[in-house]
Amino acid sequence: MVATLSPLLRRAAAFGGGVALTLGTLLAVPTAAQASTDYGPAAWVPASTSNYTNASRESDYNINYVVIHTIQGSYTSAINWFQNPAAQVSAHYVVSKGGAVTQMVREADVAWHAGNWTYNTQSIGIEHEGYVEQDGWYTEQMYQASAAIVRSVTSKYGIPRDRAHIIGHNEVPGATHTDPGSRWNWTYFMQLVNGTTPPSWTQTVDNTTAGRFTASANWGTSTYSAQRYGADYRYANPQAVSDAAWYKFAVPATASYRVEVWYPAVAGYNTTTPYVVVTTGGNTTVQVNQQANGGKWVTLGTFTLAAGDYNAVGVSRWTSTSGYVIADAVKLTRV
């Protein structure tokens, strides 16, 4: 994508350049009344006719590329923006963090997404919910959904399934944008596109796993809830101190990993428990409501972790919300 959609300011790259626009009020997203005729799993919500060029590809132009974008905003805001006649920007497909897909421009038409007219005419543009500079947006569901679109269009138009033809917005000649950014796992994505899989690896660390869990004496031990993972779990009062409970993992390679957590959910527990994930880009904190979704694996997101044997995930006490913070079990899975 070209810039941040929210809260209101947005830069749009149409034919070959960019223009600054201010969006005073986002349009409401209509309920999709029909499915896409180009790609069955997608809903069809058309972009404004002011935001793309009618064409008859591949008669008018050959389709030679797929361009991968990041919205710099939400799935809903992208759909809203492409429906706004003032936007002067669009993409063929929009993919959510949860794997939902909406088509907004027919594949035969030219979407305005690449910032380069030649590449606009020769490509399919796919927008992805999220922010380039933040971890956790590029989920397994998103990768799977996007790769399925790419398999469809590459088969349909004879596009080689390689990195010369499946490119990021940052790789378009003359590009001034960085999406999808360093957090986009090109290796894994291309494996999905080509039907191969990365080496499988998963590891679970419980609060009782020998040599893999550390916590100070301020963390008590409880068997109160039957939703616990294993024999027991740890708890502590929230306080603005550096006193995290840490889970140590032997991460096999620098790659993308799905981080899942298990905890019992009790009405008196904390609603904003901070989980700290040690990523290659620095520590990332994800807040979890531990009064809900207990007794099962809850996904924090997909993050790029460095290879090595180290404390990779922690549960912090540093929250202003009342109620015990809970440290039970954490699981990493390479994706």
The residue assigned the tokens 């710099």 is 72
Residue 269 is given by DSSP the state: B
Residue 10's pLDDT band, with cuts at 50, 70 and 90, is very low
d(CA 19, CA 12): 5
What's residue 335's pLDDT?
79
What's residue 213's pLDDT?
98
Residue 255's pLDDT band, with cuts at 50, 70 and 90, is confident
* Ranges 156-170, 187-201, 239-253: which has the least confidence: 187-201
Query: Model confidence over 197-239: pLDDT tens digits?
Result: 656 789 999 999 999 999 999 999 999 999 999 999 999 999 9
Looking at per-residue confidence, does 136 or 166 come out higher? 166
Torsion, Cα of 37, 41, 45, 46 (10° steps): -40
What's residue 23's pLDDT?
30
Torsion, Cα of 216, 217, 222, 228 (10° steps): 10
- Are 331 and 322 spatial neighbours (Cβ–Cβ below 8 Å)? no
What's residue 72's pLDDT?
96
Pair 34, 176 in one domain? yes
Pair 127, 165 in one domain? yes
Position 17 pLDDT exceeds 80: no
Q: Which of 59, 104, 62 is nearest to 83 (CA)?
A: 104
The structure tokens listed for 73 are 């905003």
Pair 231, 168 in one domain? no
Give the residue from 193, 222, 242 where a domain finishes: 193
Ramachandran area for residue 116 (φ above 0: left; ψ -120 to 50: alpha; else beta): beta
Position 135 pLDDT exceeds 90: no
Query: Model confidence over 54-78: pLDDT tens digits?
Result: 999 999 999 999 999 999 999 999 9
What's residue 142's pLDDT?
94
Give the range of the structural domain holding residue 252, as residue numbers without chain letter.
Answer: 202-334
How many distinct structural domains can be found in the chain?
A: 2
Give the residue from 163, 193, 223 where a domain finishes: 193
Query: Model confidence over 77-104: pLDDT tens digits?
Result: 999 999 999 999 999 999 999 999 999 9
Q: What's the whole-number mean pLDDT along residues 172-201? A: 88
- List Cα–Cα distances, 26 to 82, 220, 257, in angstroms: 10, 48, 34
Pair 159, 189 in one domain? yes
Pair 89, 116 in one domain? yes
Residue 320's pLDDT band, with cuts at 50, 70 and 90, is very high
d(CA 234, CA 221): 5
Pair 233, 175 in one domain? no
Q: What's the whole-number mean pLDDT along residues 3-22? A: 32
Position 189 pLDDT exceeds 50: yes
Give the CATH number, domain containing residue 224.
2.60.120.260
Pair 101, 232 in one domain? no
The residue assigned the tokens 């959609």 is 5
pTM value?
0.57
